[in-house]
Homo-oligomer: A and B are copies of this chain.
Amino acid sequence: MQVILGIHPEPTITMPKKRVLMPFKDSGHEHQHCQHDAMQTAERVCAERGLRLTPLRRQVLQLVWDSHEPVKAYDVLARLQETHANAAPPTVYRALEFLQEQGFVHRIQSMNAYLGCGAASESHDSQFLICRDCGEVAELDDAEISDLLSRKARTLGFHIDNETIEIRGRCASCRH
């Protein structure tokens, strides 16, 4: 189905990219593992990059992953304050900024909210499917979509830095 255009100089053997980085919960997906895996990944990646996953940053990442859905900065702050009475807005925004920069969380622009990344160990594009009924979000990294957007942009002389793709609708289980 995928058309490889004759642009690339050599016909590489490509590992087909995993497309659904985070599925909807209904698809036999055990959420408990996500959080645990995400924490492990973050620890490992920070070690590799020589960055400090401080207790604060670790806890904020935990709090984001406590939910399978996008969470608001001030909700994270409220939870954080339960154990960290002097936490203030900058505390949370700084931690979230760090976590975003490292790709551990994504910001959902259309919701002013943050979501744990389903593939934190490597840089990638994202497309989000957001269910208007249950609030869950699936995260995709679909090369066909990114490639098509790149091609369309290039036609207009536009060079893409990054994509914000947030699709709102109803997920399979909410339609049943």
Contact of A175 among B110, B159, B162, B165 (CB under 8 A): B159
Number of interface residues of A (CB under 8 A): 36
Interface residues of A in 88-108 (CB under 8 A from B): none
Q: Are A157 and B171 in contact (CB under 8 A)?
A: yes
Interface residues of A in 8-23 (CB under 8 A from B): 20, 23
Q: Is A4 an interface residue (CB 8 A)?
A: no
Known: A109-B110, A145-B148, A148-B148. Contact between A156 and B172, CB under 8 A? yes
Q: Are B168 and A167 in contact (CB under 8 A)?
A: no
Binds B, one of A49-57, A62-70, A72-80, A136-144: A136-144
Q: Are B144 and A156 in contact (CB under 8 A)?
A: no
| Interchain Cβ contacts under 8 Å between A and B, 30 examples | A109-B109, A109-B166, A132-B161, A138-B158, A140-B152, A142-B152, A145-B152, A148-B148, A149-B165, A149-B167, A153-B167, A156-B171, A158-B167, A158-B170, A158-B172, A159-B169, A159-B170, A159-B175, A160-B167, A160-B169, A161-B168, A161-B169, A161-B170, A162-B167, A162-B169, A163-B165, A163-B168, A164-B164, A164-B165, A164-B168
18 further interface pairs, Cβ-Cβ under 8 Å (given A156-B171, A156-B172): A23-B156, A127-B149, A145-B148, A145-B149, A149-B167, A157-B175, A158-B167, A158-B170, A160-B167, A160-B168, A161-B168, A162-B167, A163-B165, A163-B166, A164-B165, A164-B166, A164-B167, A164-B168
